[in-house]
């Protein structure tokens, strides 16, 4: 498959630690598509609420803060950016504090509706023009395949066993997957999935969504598996 030869929207859904961001970013890079990390938008919204002193327990105030959120996301897969009110928060939104509190925003239905609206706007812009000259976008997130982009040309549920997901996130955050690291990581993976599953389904593939199980695959193998799904979908449309 040649870089840049696809004009499509690829939606990648799945639970924490399944590899959505890393895999989606690499798939976008290889296909010459834009890359949208919707999870980063929820993290940025959480950071903004905390920066503005908005109590995350106040759902009305959080929803209003998200509506007012001065957010710009860059969609170049070689260097995606997240800027809030002119400040690059790409590093700040990956802290443990944000990871442990983002579900308060992610489970706020009005906040989800606003961020979903913005995500659809980015996807449409990249479908018709924009960063990659309208070639398309790979968008990843918990409700991309069902709520945000149910009409995407390719929809993938990227999943993995709980053990594999915990180990990956532990290595990402702590550089190791020993018992202490796994214990410290469990809240970010298991608890957050449990919280978010109260407002969105991301653990079972909806009709028309292809499941890719990465439990026993490394990054390269998972990327190739998703590229195969894209190729098959293109062939079916030809």
**pLDDT digits 0-9 by tens, 77-88:** 999 999 999 999
Dihedral (CA of 7, 146, 96, 68) sign: positive
19 known member of a binding site: yes
| Domain 8-227: homologous superfamily in CATH | P-loop containing nucleotide triphosphate hydrolases (3.40.50.300)
215 known member of a binding site: no
161 known member of a binding site: no
Encoding tokens for residue 199? 């407002």
86 known member of a binding site: no
16 known member of a binding site: yes
pTM: predicted TM-score of the whole model, two decimal places: 0.84
Distance CA 200, CA 109 (A): 10
Distance CA 186, CA 203 (A): 17
Distance CA 93, CA 89 (A): 6
Tell me how crowded residue 204 is: count the other CB atoms within 10 A of its CB: 9
At 22-79, the pLDDT tens digits run: 999 999 999 999 999 999 999 999 999 999 999 999 999 999 999 999 999 999 999 9
Tell me how crowded residue 158 is: count the other CB atoms within 10 A of its CB: 24
Each domain of the chain, given as residue ranges in start order, spans 8-227
């Amino acid at each position: 498959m040649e870089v840049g030869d696809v004009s499509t929207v690829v939606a990648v859904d799945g639970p924490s630690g399944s590899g959505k961001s890393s895999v989606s970013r690499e798939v976008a890079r290889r296909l010459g598509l834009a890359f949208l990390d919707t999870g980063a938008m929820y993290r940025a919204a959480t950071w903004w609420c905390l920066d503005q002193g908005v109590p995350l327990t106040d759902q009305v105030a959080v929803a209003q803060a998200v509506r007012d959120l001065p957010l710009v996301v860059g969609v170049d897969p070689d260097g995606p950016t997240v800027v809030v009110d002119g400040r690059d928060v790409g590093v700040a939104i990956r802290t443990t504090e944000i990871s442990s509190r983002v579900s308060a925003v992610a489970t706020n239905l009005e906040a989800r509706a606003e961020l979903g609206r913005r995500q659809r706007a980015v996807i449409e812009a990249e479908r018709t023009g924009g960063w990659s000259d309208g070639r398309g976008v790979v968008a990843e997130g918990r409700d991309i395949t069902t709520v945000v982009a149910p009409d995407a040309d390719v929809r993938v549920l990227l999943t993995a066993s709980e053990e594999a997901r915990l180990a990956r996130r532990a290595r990402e955050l702590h550089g190791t997957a020993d018992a202490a690291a796994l214990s410290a990581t469990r809240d970010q993976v298991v608890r957050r999935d449990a919280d978010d599953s109260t407002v969105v389904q991301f653990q079972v593939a909806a009709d028309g969504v292809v499941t890719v199980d990465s439990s026993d695959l490394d990054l390269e193998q998972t990327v190739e598996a998703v590229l195969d799904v894209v190729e098959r979908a293109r062939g079916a449309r030809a």
